[in-house]
């Protein structure tokens, strides 16, 4: 308190009239009929009246609100008549302008010798600021609770597992349903993390949690391996999670827990590993095929996979081929039929094959002519749309060259036969001609044998299966080792019929195909035809591209069939594996629990997208599939996504971001969508990037909710700061009031002491007076002086406590003796109650005897005041370890549980119809509690409404 304030208070104390009008409290005196006869300037200032307008003209009830007037008539006046005083009542006063002023006030009645009410003195304190603060604080608490409920509901509905771990032991404080589903049947709430999930002890995840809690740094994990049980009795299994650990702070910005957001991605990780394994298997099939094989993707025919045989055919290396456009690799194909044939397969979905086609390649800046047999097979997605082409090819340049040599040899043979016929005709005419003819014949036979030998040599050396069958029964005239190996019937086949060698083909339409070719002279071609052949006693499945070509004699009659074939079994098996892999990958993406899609090529063509991704885009599935992503989603352009996708596609470095805002036109409405997403490079089996895998989680609701929470927290913080300022101002006013009450109590104590002395002297002189009225009057006066003394002492103790000047003078004394003295003293004031002390042994303690005595006196007096007449009050005293415990039990009205929490607060009184008529300012228990605390003790109460109360306090021995 400043010197100026002290001087002003001292001057006010010396001038009672000035003290009355300048006190920070309101004072008013009114008659038994309620007419105001005296009012101080402070109260007039509150209400906006002048003394002339109020004094002798207005009744006190006119200053009250309507509710206050009713309470005044029904309770206040009866209570005042009954007890003589009223303390700590809360009322609403009305100002001149109708505004409300909240006040707390006490009142003391002034009566004549006959006990008739003459006047009422009231003291009032302004309680408006405190009421407003309490209302705003209650509103703020309700708003905060509402926000907490909304946040809790939001967490419960989030499509991700969420939990809150409290304190350094990470106790499960909150879990949502999706988090509980991660551990079915396991009780988590209220348990420390390592008790609920003991298997994570010593794992990396435990250290990560500790780091987040200690450093405050958020941690985001992707596909982290955590060996966990799903249920209590299930075995530990490897599980993968995407998660975020976010530190949680309290009102003082101190970390007090960790918030966990988690999605289990175990199935996705395993599925990706299976896809990768399938791709490796596919690559192995392609790379080990003995013929040229590749897979082209998209309308630009990007080489996804190619083997070494294809690279050798083109005279290129694999790195020069893989991942590039076909016409960028071989621009010389642009004016050849191959690109258009490929486009036709992409358009129609119909496969195409050709047995022999010229291929012009530029090798070392020189054009080279090669011949190939090739087959184009479309690759279709789940929706039936062609997305690529499987190309199988075989370099048959040497076979074509051999065949052409065979054709030349055959022509030479035909020429020789014609010459031989001419010689035979001439043989019958002359011997000279005969001799010449015989000589020529020997030469032609030699040439024929040489031609036949060359023919057999060409057939034998052919790198693909060839067979020549003669006659309607298809006798085998020629068969090279390749076709003999395919048949698997041994080498003894020449001269035997085709049906005899391969009877298992009876029901496979091949015999009828041969018969048709022989009868009609029309060739037959088959592509990717399945043929089941019995090899070494076991039926084997093969796939062939084969042709049955008729052989004509000089009269254009069919005398046989030449059979050429290409074994494409590996190609078909590889194709089936590719289709299976493609289907498995698509199924994995379509069934993924998060939004996923695959974007292929530099234009990011949407190859596959699951339902969650399409819903996120807000488009129809048929409007986006197989289109470049920024053509299907033009609304996503110019938001930074083009650069991100290009960087992932070109560098192979994955991109991850959280809560990225993207503006999309969803279902015809422009919306901002916040996303957590990952862009990962999509690679083929050889490790070349062919696209992007996108994984996205829509976190729009979470982001908006957090933003709202942050805004609300800012508002709450502003309100809190304002309320704290108002509270501090209220405390300042309270300190001024306490200072005034303390000084006033000191000033009142001096005349009260003199009055007490006068009453005691008068009582001694009038003890033997024959007038009974005087004796009774002196006893009443003595009782009133004692009440006033107790009241003033209470205020002085509060003042001393607040200023820290209450001195505890400890001494050793008999505690049991003090208890008995206090019981006897209080018993003298009442004949309506019996105070009973249970057996109490002799106990010595070191304490301030007077102050502990005042604690006992207060508890006993309260028990008397709040107990019905003719009931007992039980007191006990026991030693509990190093403490002595005293209890005071009454059979009174009892208290509610919320009153128990506040009963030791300063100025707090239980507010009920039963307590309205009982005098008190609510300072006795407050002072008692402070005295016990200064003795390092403890004080508390137990009570049940309607069943009495028991007050306890403990003091150290």
pLDDT single digits (tens) 271-319: 677 656 656 656 666 676 667 888 898 999 999 888 888 888 898 898 9
**Does 227 score more than 80 pLDDT?**
yes
Give the per-residue pLDDT at 434.
Answer: 44
pTM summary value? 0.35
Give residue 307's pLDDT.
Answer: 87
Arithmetic mean of pLDDT, 151-155: 57
The region that residue 371 occupies, defined by phi over 0 for left and psi between -120 and 50 for alpha, beta otherwise, is beta
pLDDT > 80? residue 778: no
How confident is the model over 901-906, as a mean pLDDT? 82
What average pLDDT score do residues 604-626 get? 90
pLDDT at 214 over 90: yes
Most confident of 43-52, 272-281, 442-451, 463-472: 43-52
pLDDT at residue number 353: 86
* pLDDT of 875 over the 90 cut: yes
Q: Are 325 and 417 in contact (CB under 8 A)?
A: no
Rounded to an integer, the average pLDDT of 519-536 is: 88
Q: Is the pLDDT of residue 144 over 60?
A: no
Which strands, in side-by-side order, build the sheet including 605-609?
A: 605-609, 595-600, 689-698, 669-683, 655-666
pLDDT-derived band at 888 (thresholds 50, 70, 90) equals very high
Q: Is the pLDDT of residue 782 over 80?
A: no
- Range of weakest confidence among 505-514, 785-794, 874-883, 915-924: 915-924
**Does residue 696 contact residue 595 with C-beta atoms inside 8 Å?**
yes
pLDDT value of position 222: 85
Q: Which of 800, 654, 669 is nearest to 738 (CA)?
A: 800
**What is the model's pLDDT at position 447?**
47
Q: What is the pLDDT of residue 147?
A: 53
pLDDT at 67 over 70: yes
| Three-class SS of 120-136 | EEEEEEECHHHHHHHHH
Q: Label residue 667 by pLDDT band (50, 70, 90).
A: confident
Mean pLDDT across 823-844: 86
Percentage of the chain exceeding pLDDT 70 = 72
Confidence of residue 428 (pLDDT cuts 50, 70, 90): very low
Quick count: other Cβ atoms within 10 Å of Cβ 247?
17
Q: What is the residue whose two structure tokens read 């690109």?
A: 339
- Looking at mean pLDDT, say which of 86-90, 255-259, 264-268 comes out highest: 255-259
Q: What is the pLDDT of residue 223?
A: 87
**pLDDT above 50: residue 1:** no
Among 189-193, 222-226, 821-825, 827-831, which is the least confidently predicted range? Answer: 827-831
- Whether residue 143 is predicted with pLDDT greater than 80 in this model: the reply is no
User: Does 627 score more than 90 pLDDT?
Assistant: yes
* Contacting residues for 417 by C-beta, under 8 A, at least 6 apart: 444
CB 96 within 8 A of CB 49: yes
* Minimum mean pLDDT range among 26-35, 157-166, 378-387, 774-783: 774-783
Instruction: Provide the token pair at 652.
Output: 């192979």
Ranges 481-490, 818-827, 914-923: which has the least confidence: 914-923
Calculate Rg over the CA atoms of the chain.
54
In our burial notation (b when 16+ CB lie closer than 10 A, e otherwise), range 650-677 reads eeeeebeeeebebebeeeeeeeebbbbb
Strand order across the 219-228 sheet: 171-175, 161-166, 255-264, 237-249, 219-228
Is residue 953 over pLDDT 90? yes
Query: What average pLDDT does this structure show over 483-505?
Result: 88
**Higher-pLDDT residue of 706, 816:** 816
Over range 870-897, report the average pLDDT: 90
Chain-centroid distance, C-alpha 713: 20
Higher pLDDT, 222 or 718: 222
- The pLDDT of residue 16: 54
Tell whether the model's pLDDT for residue 915 goes beyond 90: no
Relative orientation angle of helices 569-590 and 266-288, to the nearest 10 degrees: 160
Range 686-715 average pLDDT: 79
Predicted pLDDT at 13: 41
The secondary structure of residue 525, as a DSSP letter, is E
Full strand arrangement of the beta sheet holding 871-880 = 833-837, 871-880, 883-889, 949-956, 938-943
846/328 Cα distance (integer angstroms): 103
* d(C-alpha 281, C-alpha 581), whole Å: 10
Q: For residue 750, is pLDDT > 60? A: no
Report the percentage of the chain scoring pLDDT > 90. 23
Q: What is the mean pLDDT of residues 343-353?
A: 90
Counting other chains too, the contacts that 737-741 makes at CB distance below 8 Å and 24 or more residues apart are 737/24, 737/25, 737/125, 738/798, 738/799, 738/802, 739/1, 739/5, 739/9, 739/799, 740/9, 740/23, 740/24, 740/25, 741/795, 741/798, 741/799
Task: Look at 86 and 877; give whichever has higher pLDDT.
Answer: 877
| Predicted confidence (pLDDT) at residue 473 exceeds the cutoff of 50 | yes
């Amino acid at each position: 308190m400043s010197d100026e304030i002290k001087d002003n208070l001292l001057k006010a104390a010396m001038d009672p009239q000035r003290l009355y009008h300048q006190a920070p409290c309101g004072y008013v005196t009114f008659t038994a009929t309620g007419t105001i006869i005296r009012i101080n300037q402070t109260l007039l200032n509150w209400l906006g009246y002048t003394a002339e307008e109020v004094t002798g003209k207005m009744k006190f009830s006119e200053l009250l609100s309507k509710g206050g007037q009713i309470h005044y008539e029904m309770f206040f006046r009866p209570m005042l008549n009954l007890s003589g005083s009223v303390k700590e009542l809360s009322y609403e006063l009305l100002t001149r302008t109708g505004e409300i002023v909240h006040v707390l006030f006490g009142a003391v009645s002034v009566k004549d010798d006959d006990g008739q009410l003459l006047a009422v003195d009231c003291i009032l304190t302004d309680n408006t600021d405190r009421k407003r603060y309490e209302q705003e604080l209650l509103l703020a608490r309700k708003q905060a609770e509402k926000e907490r409920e909304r946040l809790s509901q939001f967490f419960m509905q989030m499509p991700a597992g969420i939990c809150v771990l409290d304190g350094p032991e990470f106790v499960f404080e909150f879990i949502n349903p999706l988090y509980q589903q991660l551990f079915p049947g396991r009780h988590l709430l209220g348990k420390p993390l390592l008790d609920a999930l003991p298997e994570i002890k010593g794992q990396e995840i435990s250290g990560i949690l500790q780091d987040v809690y200690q450093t405050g740094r958020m941690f985001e994990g992707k596909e982290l391996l955590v060996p966990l049980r799903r249920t209590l009795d299930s075995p530990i299994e490897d599980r993968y999670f995407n998660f975020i650990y976010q530190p949680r702070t309290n009102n003082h910005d101190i970390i007090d827990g960790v918030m966990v957001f988690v999605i289990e991605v175990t199935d996705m990780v395993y599925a990706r590993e299976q896809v990768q394994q399938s791709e490796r298997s596919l690559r192995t099939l392609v790379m080990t095929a003995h013929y040229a094989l590749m897979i082209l993707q998209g309308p630009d025919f990007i080489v996804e996979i190619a083997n070494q045989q294809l690279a050798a055919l083109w005279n290129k290396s694999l790195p020069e081929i893989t991942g590039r456009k076909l016409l960028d690799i071989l621009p010389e194909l642009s004016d050849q039929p191959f690109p258009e044939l490929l486009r036709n397969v992409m358009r129609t979905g119909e496969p195409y094959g050709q047995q022999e086609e010229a291929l012009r390649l530029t090798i070392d800046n020189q054009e080279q002519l090669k011949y190939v047999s090739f087959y184009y097979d479309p690759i279709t997605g789940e929706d039936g749309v062609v997305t690529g082409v499987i190309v199988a090819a075989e370099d048959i340049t040497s076979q074509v060259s051999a065949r052409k040599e065979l054709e030349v040899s055959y022509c030479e043979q035909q020429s020789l036969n014609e010459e031989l016929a001419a010689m035979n005709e001439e043989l019958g005419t002359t011997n000279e001609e005969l001799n010449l003819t015989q000589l020529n014949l020997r030469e032609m036979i030699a040439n024929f044998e040489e031609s036949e030998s060359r023919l057999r040599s060409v057939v034998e050396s052919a790198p693909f299966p060839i067979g020549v069958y003669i006659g309607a029964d298809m006798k085998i005239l020629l068969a090279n080792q390749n076709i003999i190996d395919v048949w698997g019937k041994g080498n003894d086949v020449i001269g035997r019929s085709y049906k005899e060698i391969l009877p298992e083909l009876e029901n496979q339409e091949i015999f009828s195909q041969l018969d048709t070719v022989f009868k009609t002279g029309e060739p037959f071609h088959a592509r990717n035809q399945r043929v089941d052949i019995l090899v070494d006693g076991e039926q084997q499945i093969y796939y062939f591209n084969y042709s049955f070509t008729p052989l004509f004699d000089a009269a254009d009659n069919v005398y046989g069939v030449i059979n050429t074939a290409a074994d494409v079994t590996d190609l078909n098996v590889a194709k089936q594996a590719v289709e299976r892999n493609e289907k498995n990958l698509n199924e994995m993406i379509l069934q993924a629990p998060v939004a996923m899609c695959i974007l292929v090529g530099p234009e990011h063509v949407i190859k596959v997208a699951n339902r969650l991704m399409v819903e996120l885009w807000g488009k129809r599935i048929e409007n986006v599939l197989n289109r470049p992503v920024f053509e299907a989603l033009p609304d996503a352009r110019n938001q930074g996504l083009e650069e991100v996708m290009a960087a992932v596609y070109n560098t192979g470095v994955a991109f991850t971001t959280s809560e990225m805002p993207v503006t999309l036109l969803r279902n015809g409405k422009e919306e901002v969508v916040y996303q957590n997403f990952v862009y990962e490079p999509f690679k083929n089996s050889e490790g070349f990037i062919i696209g992007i895998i996108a994984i996205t989680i829509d976190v729009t609701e979470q982001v908006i909710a957090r933003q709202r929470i942050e805004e609300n927290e800012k508002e709450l913080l502003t309100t809190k700061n304002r309320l704290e300022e108002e509270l501090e101002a209220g405390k300042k006013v309270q300190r001024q009031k306490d200072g005034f009450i303390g000084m006033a109590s000191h000033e009142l104590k001096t005349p009260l002491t003199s009055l007490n002395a006068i009453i005691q002297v008068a009582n001694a002189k009038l003890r033997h007076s024959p007038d009974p009225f005087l004796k009774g009057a002196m006893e009443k006066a003595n009782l009133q002086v004692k009440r006033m003394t107790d009241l003033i002492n209470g205020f002085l103790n509060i003042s001393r406590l607040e200023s820290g000047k209450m001195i505890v003078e400890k001494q050793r004394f008999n505690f049991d003796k003090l208890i008995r003295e206090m019981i006897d003293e209080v018993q003298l004031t009442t004949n309506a109650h019996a105070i009973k002390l249970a057996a109490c042994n002799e106990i010595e303690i070191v304490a301030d005897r007077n102050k502990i005595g005042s604690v006992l006196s207060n508890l006993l007096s309260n028990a008397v005041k709040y107990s019905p007449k003719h009931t007992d009050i039980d007191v006990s005293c026991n030693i509990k370890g190093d403490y002595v415990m005293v209890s005071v039990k009454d059979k009174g009205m009892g208290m509610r549980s919320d009153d128990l929490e506040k009963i030791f607060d300063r100025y707090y009184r239980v507010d009920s119809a039963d307590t309205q008529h009982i005098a008190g300012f609510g300072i006795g228990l407050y002072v008692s509690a402070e005295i016990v605390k200064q003795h390092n003790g403890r004080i508390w109460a137990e009570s049940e409404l309607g069943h009495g109360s028991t007050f306890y306090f403990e003091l150290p021995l």
